[in-house]
């Protein structure tokens, strides 16, 4: 799996967009970018994933650069409940098994 690099921590004002970057410069053509988050002491929560096109769902948007070497998770209107550790995971999707492997992630603090 390609290695990912994320900032250790970030903060954001409530109501503003939170933009969480992830570098994955060694990503290969068949590797997807996944984002999960973990709110304190809870189980990780799937947010979104993509291959090369930008993706949007009810939780967030995922912007992947054209060369696929980096991506940004965007929470358009952050709330206090979005305070969590956010994990960027790059993984090949195969027909047999897919196992999210968690690093340290980015600790996002949303403040009033």
Partner 1 sequence: EPEVTQTPSHQVTQMGQEVILRCVPISNHLYFYWYRQILGQKVEFLVSFYNNEISEKSEIFDDQFSVERPDGSNFTLKIRSTKLEDSAMYFCASSPYTEAFFGQGTRLTVV
Q: Where do contacts with partner 1 occur on this chain (CB under 8 A)? A: 32, 34, 36, 38, 41-46, 49, 93, 96-104
Minimum separation from the CB atom of position 89 to partner 1 (A): 10
Minimum separation from the CB atom of position 7 to partner 1 (A): 16
Q: HEC profile for 42-89?
A: CCCEEEEEECCCCEECCCCEEEECCCCCEEEEEECCCCHHHCEEEEEE
Given the complex with partner 1, which of 49 and 74 has the nearer CB atom?
49
Given the complex with partner 1, which of 49 and 52 has the nearer CB atom?
49
**Is residue 68 within 8 Å of 59, Cβ to Cβ?**
no
Given the complex with partner 1, which of 15 and 103 has the nearer CB atom?
103
Given the complex with partner 1, which of 66 and 103 has the nearer CB atom?
103
Minimum separation from the CB atom of position 52 to partner 1 (A): 16
**Is residue 74 within 8 Å of 61, Cβ to Cβ?**
yes
């Amino acid at each position: 799996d390609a290695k990912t690099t994320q900032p250790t921590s970030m903060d954001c004002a409530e109501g503003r967009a939170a933009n969480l970057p992830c570098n994955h410069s060694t990503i290969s053509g068949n590797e997807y970018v996944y984002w999960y988050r973990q709110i304190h002491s809870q189980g990780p929560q799937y947010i979104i994933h993509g291959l090369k096109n930008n993706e949007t769902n009810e939780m967030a948007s995922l912007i992947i650069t054209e060369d696929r070497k980096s991506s940004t998770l965007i929470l358009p209107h952050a709330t206090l409940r979005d305070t969590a550790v956010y994990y960027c995971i790059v993984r090949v999707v195969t027909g047999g098994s897919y196992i999210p492997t968690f690093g340290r992630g980015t600790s996002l603090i949303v403040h009033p």
